Structure 1
């Protein structure tokens, strides 16, 4: 909670008072904002380091769960459906979409991780504008990761719903 407060305060302080140009973002930072970045530099970098560690554990756990779902649930079930010459086209399509999004998640996380590492390694005392740009980029990439996770979870729900329908259509009572 404290780390979110620090990051939010830093970002708000920078955004609220609009005159240094932030590289690549088109935003202007005034002297007060640059001073605020320098004053909170060590705290923010410490918070980013903790966030980076926590995110790494979360990503590993999520990636493992997503891999298990694909490799131990979706693939074997789709194979059995195909071997039994049943109509599992919807399930197979959802699996393809899920696996594509899983690849997006892995790549997005790599870019996010590199960006956070870059922010941690940036000397925010000497390069406050570059530091700010990197933190803003990391925030945007984190949003992309969140969107990817939401899509993966939606595919899991979709697959579950499709399986329920498949099971109902192919139950022995229906034949």
Structure 2
């Protein structure tokens, strides 16, 4: 392991330690605007490595956002909408499918909105000079963390909607199989 790799590894470890230390302090720390003296000195002394980790997180999350966003858009436009149209054209009751699709699309909108808010908050946190304003920096990072949690919740809900929709599609497939069996004279 070269010197740069070790430095990056140490920086990430320190950043995680700081985030976990600050996070474990609980909700009370989020309500109080100031860090403890120990946390204050950790933020100041590890400012560069923390910001490096946050920049890496920002880049990683941005790539994930693009990839997931494209997948979620494709599921809505290329799969759900088309299947709903075909099912409706074949005289199936699509009210459940349409309700699920609409709910999915609404949640997809929340995902976009929440991710944008998270990205803006993370950018704001990164812009703060944590050597001179560690308390403000900490609060901004905690806000970004909370907003990232909303994105995580949106992703969970999108996956739940996908699972529900899949269940409805399976029921239609089973109905089609029964109809085919009936038309074969079995």
Fold shared per TM-score above 0.5: yes
The TM-score, its normalising length taken from structure 2, stands at 0.83
Point out where structure 1 has 5 or more consecutive residues left out of the alignment.
none
Q: How many pairs does the alignment contain?
A: 172
Partner of 1:157: 163
Cα distance in 2 between the residues matched to 1:173 and 1:27: 68
Q: Report Cα offsets for 1:43-65 as digits up to 9, x if no partner.
A: 00011001100100000000000
The counterpart of 1:123, out of the listed 119, 129, 132, is: 129
Matched, 1:173 2:157: no
**Match of 1:135, SS?**
helix
- C-alpha RMSD over aligned residues: 2.4
Q: Identify, as 1 or 2, the structure richer in helix.
A: 2
1:13 and 1:36 in contact (8 A); partners too: no
User: 9, 13, 32: which one pairs with 1:5?
Assistant: 13
1:29 positional shift: 1.8
Q: Which residue of 2 aligns with 1:74?
A: 80
The 2-side partners of 1:15 and 1:81 are apart by 49
Tell me by how many angstroms 1:111 deviates.
0.4
Larger-Rg structure: 2
Q: Secondary structure at the match of 1:29?
A: coil
